Structure formats: structure tokens, C-alpha cells
Amino acid sequence: MAGEIIEIVIILILIVLTGYLSMAELAVVSVRKAKMQRYLEEGNKNAQIVFDLMEDPNEFLSTVQIGISLIGVLTGAFGGVTLAEPLAKLISFVPYSEPISVAIVVIITTYLTLVVGEIVPKVIALNDPERVSLKVAKSMVILSKISKPVSFILAKSSSFLLWVMRIENRNDNAVTEEEIELLIEEGRVEGTIEQEEEDIIKRVFKLDDQKVESIMTPRNEIIWVDLEDPREVNKVKIMESKRSIFPIASGELDDFIGVVQAKDILSLMFSDEEFDINSIVKEPLVVSENLETLELLKEFKENQEYVHMSLVVDEFGSVEGLITLNDLLEGIVGDIPGIDEDDDPIATERDDGTWLIDGRFGIDRFKELFDIDEVFPDEEEDGYTTLAGFILSISGTVPDVNDKYQWERFCFEIVDLDGHQIDKILVTDLGEDYISDEEEED
């Protein structure tokens, strides 16, 4: 009887060892380098061991599989042969006692191997792979040294088979924007990340892919001071505008001299000096319309001598638009009440459920408003960034008032034009369940 108890204990120990190796295997392959780097910087010596194991996964996995396979053979030998015989004697009064005893031992051993040797250890490893891998690191190095000759052969054999199948053995743990967004969404669902934080991070990713023209104030809406105009005209223009900074030019905006700030104008007016606007003109930052939005933020940071306004020019040097630091800030955190809100394109929901939207309303904001994930028709090819640009793209011409267009579940009606510019658009959302005539025919 004592012999059987010892054999049962040995089997349990072997199953626990299997679980330990399974846990170590999954923990190391699930480690996130960024978190492990933090442990390394804190002086944890085991962190470097984990990095070494991750650098050569073939050898590490071969070592673990050697241990698991060896333990599996020993567990089968002890369970199938050693314990089945005494169990058969206990149930000898039952027909076919020997095969039944073998089946019972196999079922119990398999159950314990699955639960104790696989499922539970792997769940533990997945819950905190970094901490688990740090604890098992030294033992894995010892096991690797013991099984070095065999693991070397297995690793080389695996590499050869991968080469034959033209499969590159990569250990690429590069993190993509899509993976970060998925992690952020998961964090928001679990409550560790706020909705506002998720929105800001997603806007930053969007800005990195957009040109400055997507957030600039277009040329026809720039309020600028013309030195050829009478002083009173410019005075009224500045007083009626809620902007705090103005481009200065002579005759044409393309012949800009610089920019002035409202506070400098006010200071000069209350001083005893003669009013000379040229004395307070500052040099603006001038950038190309093809510059990426986040690159502009970098330009603002690196060029502190410039006022926080940038003039956007095309390849011929003509002014296409204007961007302030506030525009960049709103691109990251969203609309900020009180900052040029009179000039900000808006979308207003009416009592009948339709939306009255400014033509300058951004396409990205339109997607957020109606929870649209897909790309608009020819969005990348035509490069439009506003709802008016989308209408012009699908129409192919400047529309007239009351012209209607339909795309997917949306109906667009031109309500007002400002010259040749689309000013107001009435948008009707027909609902996510709406099926177009083309889809019905398909």
C-alpha cells in the first residue's frame, strides 16, 4: 500500500512539473517588451534573462518541450502500468477489471494533467506574464543548460523545417496603432481608461495621418489687415473680430508682411508713442500645405521665436490657409468652448431629426457624429477634408440650392450657397437599417 501512495505522489509531482513548464512557456511568449524594459531599468536581474529567452524562442521552446515530453512519458508509465494493476485487483469481482482499471487511471491522469498541468497554469501565466516570467527565469536557464545538446538538435531541426517551408522565423513584437487602439478600447470597457482619454489618443493618431489643410482656416475666411485700407476700416475689422492674431499684408494676402497680436495693438494704442503698426509686426511660421499636422506641432515647439500662428502656402507661395496653436489643440482634445466658436463650423440637430451642417464641417467630425467607420468615396484620392468637399467630389460640379445627393443611408440637400461655396447642408439620416435601391437589386 505504501508503494502505491509513493507512486501516486510521484505522478502528482510530475503533473505539477508539467504545469510549471506550461506556465513558464506561455508567460515568456506573452511578455510585453515595454513592461519588461521597466523591470530591467529598475535593476531586476531576471529581466535580462527573460529578454535573452525571448531573443531565441526556438531554443527556449525546445527546452520546454523536452521537459514536458519527458514528464508526459514518465506520467504515462507510472499511471498506466503501476497504478492500473493494484486497481484491477481491487475491482477483480467486476468483469474486464484490467481494461476498466486502465481506463479509470487514464481518465483521472488526463483530467489532472489538463486542469493542474495545463489550464490553471496557463491562466496564471496570462494574468501576469511579466511577473511569472521573472520568477521562472532562472529555473528555465538551468533546464536549458541541462538539456542543451538535445534542445540544440531540436532547435536546428525546427529552423531547417521552417526554411524548407519558406517561413521566416521572426520575433517581431512591434506594436501597431491598431493594437494600441484595441488595448485602449479594452481598458475603457474595463474602466481603467476614461472615454476622454480614449478620444484624445485616437485623435492624435488621426492627426498624424492628416495634412495641415484638414484643420486650417481656409483663405476665404481669414480675417487680415490690409495696410492699404484706411485706419478706421482696419480698426472696425479688428474690433468686430474675436480673433487675437491677424495677418498683415499690403494689397494682397499673398504679399503678407507678418502678423500682429490684438494685445500688441491695444498696448500701442494706450502708449504715448505714435501708432505705427509696422513696429509690432511679427514674423509668422510659414509651412507647406503638404506638411503633416503633428509635424506642424513640432515646428511650433522648435521655433519659439515665431508667434503661434502659421500661414499655409501652396507650391507657388500663395496663401491657402491659416493655423493657430488653438487649432492644433482642438484637433487633439476636441472642440473647446469659447475659442473662436463663432467661426467654428457646427452641426445642429433639428426637431424633425434632420441635421443642418456647415459646409466646412470636417469629414472626421461627421464620421464621429454618426459613428461611421468606413472611408468615404474617393476620400483618399480627392483629398477632401470637409463635408462640402465630399459633396463636390460626388457631384463633380458646383451644386445649386435644393440639389440633393444620396450616399449609403444619408441624403444631402444643399440649403445655402455663399457665392460658389457650399455654406449649409441639410443631412437626413435614413437609419442603419436603410437599404438602397442598388442593394435591393443585388
Residue in the block written with cell 500663395: 318
For 360-406, what is each residue's pLDDT tens digit?
888 888 888 888 878 788 877 777 778 888 888 888 888 888 899 98
Residue in the block written with cell 533546464: 143
Query: What's the confidence (pLDDT) of residue 442?
Result: 47
Query: What's the confidence (pLDDT) of residue 413?
Result: 92
Backbone angles phi, psi at 208, to 5 degrees: -65, -25
Contact yes or no for 80/105 (Cβ under 8 A):
yes
Q: Which residues contact 70 (CB under 8 A, 6 or more apart)?
A: none
Q: Which residues contact 404 (CB under 8 A, 6 or more apart)?
A: 411, 412, 413, 414
Q: What is d(CA 216, CA 284) in angstroms, rounded to the nearest whole number? A: 15
Query: What's the confidence (pLDDT) of residue 138?
Result: 87
Query: What's the confidence (pLDDT) of residue 344?
Result: 63
Query: What's the confidence (pLDDT) of residue 343?
Result: 56
DSSP summary character for residue 353 = S
Q: Which of 302, 306, 265, 255 is nearest to 285 (CA)?
A: 306
Sheet with 285-288: strands ordered across: 217-218, 319-324, 309-313, 285-288
Query: What's the confidence (pLDDT) of residue 231?
Result: 77
Query: What's the confidence (pLDDT) of residue 142?
Result: 85
Q: Which of 209, 219, 244 is nearest to 363 (CA)?
A: 209
Backbone angles phi, psi at 199, to 5 degrees: -60, -40
* pTM of this prediction exceeds 0.85: no
Backbone angles phi, psi at 411, to 5 degrees: -115, 130
* Stretch (H or E) spanning 391: helix 387-395
Query: What's the confidence (pLDDT) of residue 272?
Result: 66
For 22-61, what is each residue's pLDDT tens digit?
898 888 888 887 778 888 888 888 888 888 888 777 777 7
Query: What's the confidence (pLDDT) of residue 412?
Result: 92
Weakly modelled stretches of the chain, pLDDT under 70: 1-4, 77-84, 168-177, 272-275, 305-306, 334-344, 435-442
In 224-355, alpha helices (H): 231-240, 262-269, 293-302, 325-333
Query: What's the confidence (pLDDT) of residue 169?
Result: 57
